[in-house]
Amino acid sequence: MRNDGLLTQRFDKVLIANRGEIAMRILRACHELGIGTVAVYSDADRNALHVRYAHEAYHIGSSAARDSYLRMDKILDVAKRSGAGAVHPGYGFLAERATFAQACVDAGIVFIGPPANAIRVMGDKQEARTTVRAAGVPVVPGTEPGLNDTELIAAAAEIGYPLLVKATAGGGGKGMRPVSEASQLAGAIAAARREAMAAFGDDTVYLEKMIIGARHIEIQLLADADGNVIYLGERECSLQRRHQKLIEECPSFVVDEDLRRRMGQVAVAAAKAVNYVNAGTIEFLLDKEKNFYFLEMNTRLQVEHPVTELVTGIDIVQEQLRVARGRKLRWTQADVQMKGWAIECRINAEDPYNNYLPSTGKITTTRTPAGPGVRVDTGVFQGYEVTPYYDSMISKLICYGETRGEAALRMRRALEEYRIMGVKTNIPFHQHMMDSHRFLTGQFDTTFVEERFSMNDREAPDGLEAAIMATLVAHQHGQQASQIVAPGERDTSNWKWYSRWERLRR
């Protein structure tokens, strides 16, 4: 065991401390490698898919997560009773709890994730900033740790407005407050402290200059226990609502080879600064001038990992299992080649026509899309009961194509095939997005869904037709639609492109 809380050793049985589609994803990777699997489940999950697919399954408590999937003691007890040599935490629940990672290691059980210390450092957003900055990673201009209110207010004048008050213990958008002018600052700091104390039991806050109109781009990393770290390109994650991502893609429309290399090398440096091992992700903000800034590191497998898998051909979960067993990465940076384009739509049980209100009930019928370039990662089936206990994501629809246009057109086709009856889903949201001129031409940032996209307004049919035609034409040429429909050109050239498409089709 390393003194930073990492244990790697061979294991033949893995306990999956999670549920839903990600539990299924991890089970499948284990089974492909001939590794035994142990599921844990709550009352609400007695009939869940992961319980049926695992070699063994143990009940760990009632439906509320704090009584089951968050119970470290019960999960470690099942690991010991079942003889599991490792625990995979998936995402959410215990995935980013340094104390859980350490407790596994202390019990002689491999935690399939980073060393406990890397989780701890990256979980403290100020310590993360100072640690990666020392390794040469660009961070957003902001305050140093350890400042009192008077010092924060003095520092704000240097940083300038607008700025953000962020909770040190926050992350993922939790505990963040925008401030547009000096007169609001003291009140915002006080409010942010109260909120942070209530949410995290820690009222430490810091200030950062607000980067406006940025894209959210993240770099996927893989690292082994010998200190080898590689990047698997970027993901475009700007399409989100209230810090919940809805659509992700790999690669990003705005990242060229040079920018990818620079962001990748910086991300590798950030991981090395905390002796990172296993799969991880560095989140960046990319501004309009293509400056990029470190935001935070996600020290876990992410929901959107499949888009990277399809474009790089690397099975990230298999690789997590291998490096947790102490094996070296099977790839060097030079081996990583990106080919084609992948788009993921998160299918949530929620009503996009009613403020995305979560929807519960029994799935009476479901028909899952399939065919060329279509992958569906799901934990649900006909007869499954969607309960209010866990998050509303029930499936991920991932489409792959040679170009972005082909992936988007496949997504339109697959969404049309998809049927989920009995609960409301956000499939209409995704269909509407696949009809959006701005989506098809790659012109969006993190504010797009909340500020410029509405389920109620229909795009002018000719504008839409132009965008779809441009997407198709671009695909024929191996180009991006934006190279054909320039920003602002919206509906001037539709007939021109239509006739071009007609010619190409013949």
Reduced to 3 states (helix: H, G, I; strand: E, B; else coil), residue 365 is strand
CB of 285 to ligand MV4, least distance (A): 6
| HSE (side-chain half, CA atoms, 13 Å) at 367 | 7
Question: Considering the complex, what minimum distance in angstroms separates the CB of residue 457 from ligand MV4?
Answer: 22
Helices (H), 273-357: 305-312, 316-324
Residue 208 or 344 with smaller CB distance to ligand MV4? 208
Instruction: Tell me how far, at minimum, the Cβ of 4 lies from ligand MV4, in Å.
Output: 24
- Comparing CB distances to ligand MV4, the nearer of 162 and 326 is 162
Do residues 156 and 182 lie in contact, with contact meaning Cβ atoms separated by under 8 Å?
yes
In the complex, the smallest distance separating the C-beta of residue 141 from ligand MV4, rounded to whole angstroms, is 8
Cis peptide before 251 (omega within 30 of 0): yes
The DSSP-derived string for 143-188 is PPTT--HHHHHHHHHHH-SSEEEEEEEEETTEEEEEE-SGGGHHHH
DSSP letters spanning 414-461: HHHH-EEESS--SHHHHHHHHT-HHHHTT---TTHHHHH--SSPPPPH
Can you state the percent helix, strand and coil of the chain, rounding each to 5? 40, 25, 35
Residues that bind ligand MV4 (CB under 6 A): 140, 164, 172-173, 208-211, 216, 240, 243, 283, 285, 295-296, 446
Nearest approach in angstroms of CB 39 to ligand MV4 is 31
Question: What residues act catalytically?
Answer: 300
* CA dist list (Å): 122 to 45, 132, 151, 154: 32, 9, 24, 27
Query: What is the number of alpha carbons within 13 Å of residue 195 lying toward its C-beta?
Result: 17
- Closest to ligand MV4 by CB, 80 vs 243, is 243
